[in-house]
Each structure stands twice: as structure tokens, then as C-alpha cells.
Amino acid sequence: MRVSPILLILAFFALSAGPAAPGAAAQPSPELAAAEKAYEQNVALGDALSEKPVDAEKAARAERLFQEALAAAHACIAQDTRSVEAHHLAGLVLCTAYRPVTVPSADASDKDLAEDEPETVVILRRGAATDCEEGLAEMRAALPLKPTDPEYYLDYAEALSTCNELAACEEQALALWEERPTMSNQQCARCACLLADCARSRNEPDVEMRWLREAVRYDPQNAEAAQRLAALAAAQPKIVWFSYEAGKALAESEQKPMLIYFTAEWCGWCRKLERDVFSRGDVVACSKRFVCIKVDQADRRDLVAAFKVQAYPTAVVLDHTGRDLHRITGYRPAAQYLAELQNALPPE
């Protein structure tokens, strides 16, 4: 979160504009409290029914709560045009509250619709284009008056994501990520989840997994990030490892080079290699050109001695006859490791 001198000057003038009315700081205005309540009820309803066909009563309730929240926030702004909280909440309502929309029934997630159902259904969705334009403007009006509050910038980045302004969302989230020392662990995790969302929109599962790992590292109680990470890991293609004897026989039969990976249970760099390198899609794709063999130091001391392994992790590349082609000792970043594997392949 880069705080410019201009923003700090604006914040200073906002704070020095004059004393608040007696008791104003003690509790939010009735309008603001009403807006927050209606917004929270709208989000709870929408989260429970998002992307599912809804009946007319639930659709009307979602729209009523949206209008109530927005009207109350605007009423608060009318009383105080410099109210940071009111501008911010109006932006949240416009960008992230749910509204009923009519869509083709095939777009809804409910696959059990009967054949005689209408061709269109009503669902609850957030981030309508016309609402987003106004909502993002409201949130931008609040940001200069809260230049050092990460929560406001996180809300703004989330609104950008909801409104499909993904490049701007990623730029904002990356700027926030550089300010991690000023944020709580939960805020860091939320920022990482936003960056994971941006990666998912580009269909980059490796990058998405990296950001989700950061989210879980900062906030182990973040169940949503943990579930997303587990689902991604389960869906990711994996390297198929063979025992030494089975892999050697297969390499001879198929005349494929062997990649023999030596690891140890106590080796932290081995775990990092497996987590950050061997899990990547491009590395997994390259591994299919080898017969991959995994050797644990504690189980096969004979192979450790035979291949003169002195450090972990170590990967030895052999051709199908057993001739030594290449050796990678220690950890490498994924791009470098992949390049070494590709260079070790015998010419086709």
C-alpha cells in the first residue's frame, strides 16, 4: 500500500476540518447502522443462494435489502459528505451486495431443473456493471481519508475483483502485499486470497496454489483458503514415482531416461522441492519424458552408496542403459530446475 504525500495531506485536512458534533464519535449514526444491517442481511442471503434459482419472494427480499442499505448510506452521506464510513459502505453495497438477475437456466448451477422449467431463471448475483462504476467511485472517495488503514484498501481490492476489474485488483493487492509488516496476519491472508483469485481468473493453478499457501501460512484458521488449496492439490497432475527396480526395468523396456530422486525424511529442502517444484504443472509435464524413481535414504542405503549421494535432495539423470547424463544436487527454483531437466534429456 503506497501512501503518497498527497493522500497524507488530504488525511490531515480531513482530521483538522473541525470537531465532530458531541457524541458523534461514540456510535455510528442511525442511518449508517441501518445500512450496515441491511447490507449484512443481503450478503448472508446471497451467499446462501448465490448462483441458484430463487423464487420471487427471495429475489424481492434481496433487492429490498440492497435498496434499504444504499438509501441509508446515501442518507448518511447527505448529512456528512465527508463521512469516510458512509462513502465506503455505499461502495461496498453497490459492488458486493447481491441483486436478482434473470439468466438462461443453463447458466444456473442447479442441474436438477425439470425439462418443463422456463428457459430463464432468477439468481442472486453481485457486481452489476452500472452498480460497480458508481460503487468504485464511492470507495475511491473514501480511500484518501484512510491512507494508512489496510482494511479499506482490502475492501477496495475485493470490490475491484467482484466487478471484474482484475488487473486493477491485482495491482492493488500486490501493493498491499509489500506492506505486510503493517497488516495483521488475517489481513495478509485476505490479500493472498485476492491474489489467488486473480491467478484463478487467468487459469494459472500453480500461481493460485502459491498464493493460497501464503494465505494458509499467515492464517492457518482460514478454512476457505485451506479447502481451496486441498482441492487444487487433489486436481493437479502429479509425478508418478516408481521403485528403483520397477523403474529401471520400465526404462529399459521403453528406452526412456531415468530421473532418480534421492530424498530423506528429515530433509527440509526436499519437502520444499516437492511442494514448490515437483507440484508445478510444467515440471510434471516434463517428468513424463522420464521414468521417475524415488529413493528414500533410510530405505536404500545401498543405492545411496552406489550413486555416491552426499547431499539431499539429489536427482540423478541416466539414459535407459544406465549411463550418467546429469546430476542436480540441492534445491533450485522451479524455472531453473525445469531448465536443467530439459537440458539433461538426450536428443530425440
Q: Residue 346: how many CA atoms within 13 Å on its side-chain side?
A: 15
Residue pLDDT, tens place only, 26-49: 467 888 999 999 999 999 999 999
Q: What is the pLDDT of residue 281?
A: 85
- 229 SS3 class: helix
Share of the chain above pLDDT 90, in %: 68
Cis peptide bond N-terminal to 313, omega within 30: yes
Q: 103: which strand partners?
A: 121
Select from 71, 83, 80, 72 the least CA-distant residue to 32: 72
The C-alpha torsion from 232 through 235 and 239 to 242, rounded to 10°, is: 120
Q: How many CB atoms lie within 10 A of CB 41?
A: 17
Q: Considering the entire predicted model, what is its pTM? A: 0.65
Q: Rounded distance, CA 325 to CA 178, Å? A: 42
Q: Rounded distance, CA 312 to CA 296, Å? A: 10
Q: Is the CB of residue 346 less than 8 Å from the CB of residue 288?
A: no
Q: Rounded distance, CA 104 to CA 117, Å? A: 11
**Least confident span in 210-214, 230-234, 280-284:** 230-234
Residue pLDDT, tens place only, 245-274: 999 999 998 999 999 999 999 999 999 999
Work out the angle between the directed axes of helices 56-79 and 84-96 (0-180°, nearest 10).
Answer: 160
Work out the angle between the directed axes of helices 150-162 and 129-142 (0-180°, nearest 10).
Answer: 170
Residue pLDDT, tens place only, 300-339: 999 999 999 999 999 999 999 999 999 999 999 999 999 9
Q: What is the pLDDT of residue 236?
A: 77
Q: Is the CB of residue 21 less than 8 Å from the CB of residue 79?
A: no
Relative to beta strand 120-126, strand 98-104 is antiparallel
Q: Which three cell numbers stand for residue 305?
A: 552408496
Q: Rounded distance, CA 156 to CA 124, Å? A: 21
Q: Which three cell numbers stand for residue 318?
A: 541416466
Share of the chain above pLDDT 70, in %: 88
- Burial of residue 285 (number of CB atoms within 10 Å: 0-12, 13-18, 19+): exposed
Q: Is the CB of residue 114 less than 8 Å from the CB of residue 143?
A: no
Q: 296: which strand partners?
A: 263
Q: Which amino acid is at 202?
A: R
Count, in order, helices (H) and strands (E) of the chain.
15, 7
- Kindly list the structural domains of the chain, giving each domain's residue range(s) and its CATH number in brackets, ordered by start: 1-12+27-145 (no CATH), 149-235 (1.25.40.10), 241-344 (3.40.30.10)
Residue 90 has pLDDT above 90, yes or no: yes
